[in-house]
Amino acid sequence: MPHRPLPIRASLLLAALVFATPAWSADPIHKENVTLTANQATHTVKGKIKGYATAEYTVSGKAGQTLSVKLKTNQPSNYFNIRQPGQDEALFIGSTSGNTYQAALPADGEYTVQVYLMRNAARRNAVANYSLEMSIKEAAAH
């Protein structure tokens, strides 16, 4: 191998480091905005996650509107959480509450529905095929 000057070898090493995917990199997160309009038919998204990968679906809602979310999956360790904007704690935790959510939203904003595998399945690199049904309904008039 011909001797290359140090700057060229350093540049090649730097390029290899920049373009290589390190083993410690974050697991992939699929992000998607979902537009729900009040009183429309249910909107369904289908997806697949593997291992520690997650999928995040962002929906806009207003205080008092009823958000409904239902997860159908082939993997018993597949759940979803719902996060409210500006809050540290999840509004809904699927692993303790199940795969169906229906409640009035507490505030206006962007809500995130995160689909994930529990650690027991994620560390085995299990795969979950799922469909997520979502709808939003107007608040009842007083």
pLDDT, one tens digit per residue, over 7-30 is 555 444 444 444 433 333 456 889
pTM passes above 0.75: yes
Instruction: Give pLDDT, residue 7.
Output: 54
Instruction: Give pLDDT, residue 24.
Output: 35
Instruction: Give pLDDT, residue 75.
Output: 97
Instruction: Give pLDDT, residue 41.
Output: 77
In a domain, 125, yes or no: yes
Q: How far apart are CA 93 and CA 91, in angstroms?
A: 7
Q: What is the CATH classification number for the domain harbouring 100?
A: 2.60.120.380
In a domain, 64, yes or no: yes
In a domain, 35, yes or no: yes
Number of domains in the chain: 1
In a domain, 63, yes or no: yes
Range of the domain at 129: 27-137
* 3 state SS of 14: helix
Mean pLDDT in residue range 38-52: 90
Residue 61's pLDDT band (cuts 50, 70, 90):
very high
In a domain, 4, yes or no: no
Q: How far apart are CA 82 and CA 86, in angstroms?
A: 12
Instruction: Give pLDDT, residue 15.
Output: 42
pLDDT, one tens digit per residue, over 74-105 is 999 999 999 998 888 999 999 999 999 999 99
In a domain, 14, yes or no: no
In a domain, 49, yes or no: yes
End-to-end alpha carbon distance in the chain: 82
Judge contact between 134 and 67, C-beta under 8 A: yes
In a domain, 22, yes or no: no
Q: Which amino acid is at 25?
A: S
